[in-house]
Structure 1
Amino acid sequence: MEKSLHLLRQSEWRVIDQSAVGIHFHPLQSFGTDDTLCASVGTGHAPATARTWVHHHTIVLGIQDTRLPFLEKGREFLEQQGYQSIVRNSGGLAVVLDEGVLNISLILPETEKGIDINRGYDTMWHLIQQMFADFADRPIEAREIVGSYCPGSYDLSIDGKKFAGISQRRLKKGVAVQIYLCVNGSGSKRAELIKQFYEIARGGEETRFSYPEIVPEVMASLSELLNQNFTIADVMMRLLKELKRNSDFLYAGQLNDYELELFPGYYQRVIDRNEKM
């Protein structure tokens, strides 16, 4: 864990906060933006950057999900429930994004030796632990929560209930460590939606890939787990406080001129991948 502290410690942190404008931009733009930031931060055209974002009524599918035998039926079901579905370019399986889910991307430059994949995960885990350090009696663990959607060895949980998942994206010597945090709302209701999606999209057929058997009760939001009515803004304040503590200079920014030039190309790649899927 000690090495991960060094990654969180940066001389400057730029914060691009898009947590309040999610209804006005498409989720695919978020993935195009993170790729742009990877290329920019990785090549030294921008400092380490934290980007926060919220999207409404969106299911983000993983590459493996696109191989489900009845995928279109599953997507039709999601649409009937009021959710759009897209495919992301980082690892993992289906996750729910809505107005109660805060996404945080930490975009870091790879050092000469490179950033070991677990260091990236540990950095995000440490950040979230520090953000909620005032709940010391409710430790945040990182381990796979069987029965959750998009399970992985860095599922973040309290008392065995998952509230967050982490993924990584590497590009042009930049590393984006991305987390979705279920801040408020019902974690089990989100899990029930994904459970039904898999049941419909799998259609009872045997598949080469082992999709998760979802148990909705193993998922919850931070508000449920910590018995607090957290808003997205509350968690944003905790994040900014931690980043400030770990830098000499914290400032709010937007894409710079170099990034604005790069963005259309990366955004188009994300669109093309989704159309292909």
Structure 2
Amino acid sequence: METLLRQPQWRFIDQSAAGNHFSALQSFGTDDTLCASVGTGEAPATARAWVHHNTIVLGIQDTKLPFLKEGRQFLEAQGYQSIVRNSGGLAVVLDEGVLNISLILPETVKSIDINRGYDTMWLLIQKMFAEFDVQIEAREIVGSYCPGSYDLSISGKKFAGISQRRLKKGVAVQIYLCVNGSGSERAELIKQFYEIAKNGEQTKFAYPEIVPEVMASLSELLAENFTVADVLLRLLNQLKENSDFLFAGQLNAYELGLFPGYYQRVIDRNEKLS
């Protein structure tokens, strides 16, 4: 785990303040672009921070819900746009209190085992909040939205979920961190979405039965009024500790050339799946 977090260089791309000005589709296109550039050696290992306002990101399985249209109309009525990502998992909530972090790592010598990628992000989060006398566990939290074996939780309450994207020898390990606000209110929104989009029908896929009380934010769990900026500082401190050189940057010229193509692919897949 230590070896993946430890990199000769870390480039940090901060898009956490641009939530009102770019869509989550652009974020997924950006991570694909970074996978391609980092994987082919055109850029160093990169950490990207991003925030999107009032967006529900649906998984591919969610598009098979029998009353998906009605479910999405409900979300829109609550003030949320919805998009479909091009990877696994199920619906998650993004808003101004949810910080997303992507670690884009190169598969330089040999392929990165999928659990090793997850463990690297888990280790990073543990180190970021090491001064708190709590255990951050990685296990599925039944009743949460988008449940998985690498749900991060404290005292049985989930505050984060991890996913991965692999492309051209690059691996993007992505996490959403519920920094502040009410975790249970976010879960209640997803619970209502599934109730409307499923409408009591039997489905081949077992969608989660959401129990809002099993989800919380870090601010709620650690009794601290965290802001996204507070958590970003913790992230930067860890990147600095785990590299010889940390620098802030944006997409380089090579990546700016790649981005339109990858972004268009994300748009096309989203339209096809929607």
Same fold (TM over 0.5): yes
Q: Distance in 2 between matches of 1:101 and 1:90?
A: 20
CA drift of 1:90 comes to 2.4
- The one of 44, 64, 70 aligned to 2:41: 44
CA drift of 1:34 comes to 0.2
Structure 1 spans left out of the alignment, 5+ residues: none
1:160 paired to 2:190: no
What amino acid does structure 1 have at the position aligned with 2:31?
Answer: D
Q: Distance in 1 between matches of 2:200 and 2:108?
A: 47
Q: Distance in 2 between matches of 1:117 and 1:155?
A: 15
**Partner residue of 2:22?**
25
What amino acid does structure 2 have at the position aligned with 1:25?
Answer: F
CA drift of 1:111 comes to 2.9
Q: Distance in 1 between matches of 2:23 and 2:110?
A: 35
Q: Distance in 2 between matches of 1:98 and 1:222?
A: 15
Note the alpha carbon deviations across 1:153-182, whole angstroms, 9 max, x for none: 000000000000000000000000000000
Q: Distance in 2 between matches of 1:60 and 1:201?
A: 15
**Partner residue of 1:270?**
266
Note the alpha carbon deviations across 1:225-274, whole angstroms, 9 max, x for none: 00000000000000000000000000000000000000000000000011
- The one of 82, 95, 98 aligned to 2:95: 98
Note the alpha carbon deviations across 1:112-157, whole angstroms, 9 max, x for none: 320000000000000000000010x211000000000000000000
Percent of residue pairs bearing the same amino acid type:
84
What amino acid does structure 2 have at the position aligned with 1:126?
Answer: L
- The one of 110, 116, 119 aligned to 1:119: 116
* Conserved 8 A contact 2:16-2:99: yes
Q: Distance in 2 between matches of 1:122 and 1:221?
A: 21
- The one of 61, 67, 70 aligned to 1:70: 67
Q: Distance in 2 between matches of 1:254 and 1:223?
A: 30
* Conserved 8 A contact 2:39-2:108: no
- The one of 142, 146, 150 aligned to 1:150: 146
**Partner residue of 1:228?**
224
**Partner residue of 1:79?**
76
Q: Distance in 1 between matches of 2:24 and 2:192?
A: 22
CA drift of 1:187 comes to 0.1
Q: Distance in 2 between matches of 1:218 and 1:261?
A: 43
Q: How many residues align?
A: 273
What amino acid does structure 2 have at the position aligned with 1:162?
Answer: K
* Conserved 8 A contact 2:145-2:190: yes
CA drift of 1:189 comes to 0.1
**Partner residue of 2:212?**
216
Q: Distance in 1 between matches of 2:2 and 2:107?
A: 15
What amino acid does structure 1 have at the position aligned with 2:34?
Answer: L
Q: Distance in 2 between matches of 1:167 and 1:67?
A: 20
> RMSD value over aligned CA atoms?
0.5
Structure 2 spans left out of the alignment, 5+ residues: none
CA drift of 1:91 comes to 1.8
Farther off after superposition, 36-45 or 19-28: 19-28
CA drift of 1:183 comes to 0.0
Note the alpha carbon deviations across 1:6-32, whole angstroms, 9 max, x for none: 000000000000001111111100000
